[in-house]
Amino acid sequence: MLARYGVAFIWDTHVAAAAAYGRGKLSIADDLTEIGKAAEEIWLATSGTCLLSPTVTHQGSTDG
């Protein structure tokens, strides 16, 4: 998913974790936070460049 959606995946994961926390789903919030942090570490380690596909948009549709 990180390769497909890039940094938006990281952001969306943290937003989902906050929503889960707000609903009292603390275990799910913790799991989503861990996923977001791991994805962020990968993103930063690769400078976000080697994971991007230039033909995939944020919604997952392909160009052309």
**pLDDT tens digits for 48-59?**
665 554 444 445
Q: Where are the domains of the chain?
A: 2-45
Residue 56, helix vs strand vs coil: strand
Indicate whether this model's pTM tops 0.85.
no
pLDDT at 2: 86
**pLDDT tens digits for 7-60?**
999 999 999 999 999 999 999 999 999 999 999 999 988 876 655 544 444 454
Q: How far apart are CA 16 and CA 63, in angstroms?
A: 28
H helix runs in 1-64, sequence order: 2-5, 7-22, 26-45
